[in-house]
Structure formats: C-alpha cells, structure tokens
Amino acid sequence: MSKSIIEMKKQSELLKKYATKLVSDESFTINDLREKEFSGDKLSLREKQALVNFDRYRINELNAQEDDMAFHRRYRELQVIANLGEYEEFLKEKYFI
C-alpha cells in the first residue's frame, strides 16, 4: 500500500473517532474552552491544563510533519479534534509531555 493510502486511512479513522463521539450538552471541546476564556469567563485549573496540553500536542504534531501536504492534512485533523473532541481527552497522562 502506498504511503498516501495509509495516511488517508489513518485520517479517516481519526475523523470517524471524533465525528462519532460528539460532545454532550454537559461537556466542552477545546474550542469551547477557548471561546469561554475569550469571553472573559474564568477557566478551572483542569480546563487551563487541557488547553496547555492540547497546544503542546498540536505544536509537536505539526512540527513532526515532513512535508507541506502532511502538515496541512494534520492541521485539519487537529482542527476537527479541537472542534469535536471532549477537552478531558487532553487531561490524560499521554498528553503531559
């Protein structure tokens, strides 16, 4: 299988994971937290930590890309994660780098 087909499958799996796990009314995404912060509301320590962890993860992921096409593809995937994934995901140990 070519590298681009493998990458497309990975992207598809990632998008399915986050698209099928839409957040409930009681939980927030990374982008919900950013909006909350920009509107002047105070974030809890957990919410702040999730933002820090996500930003660090995003930068590391984007810096790891080897070409422009891969960079832009990963950038779009990270946008989906920030829009649809629950922020609690970024409180897991694997995101504390």
Could you report the per-residue pLDDT of 27-42, keeping only the tens digit for each?
899 999 999 999 999 9
Considering the entire predicted model, what is its pTM?
Answer: 0.75
Domain ranges within the chain, ordered by starting residue: 3-11+28-95
pLDDT recorded at residue 79: 96
Percentage of the chain beyond pLDDT 90 is 70
pLDDT recorded at residue 22: 52
Answer for the pair 81, 32: CB distance below 8 angstroms, yes or no.
no
Could you tell me how many helices (H) and strands (E) the chain has, helices first? 4, 0
Answer for the pair 43, 28: CB distance below 8 angstroms, yes or no.
no
Percentage of the chain beyond pLDDT 70 is 73
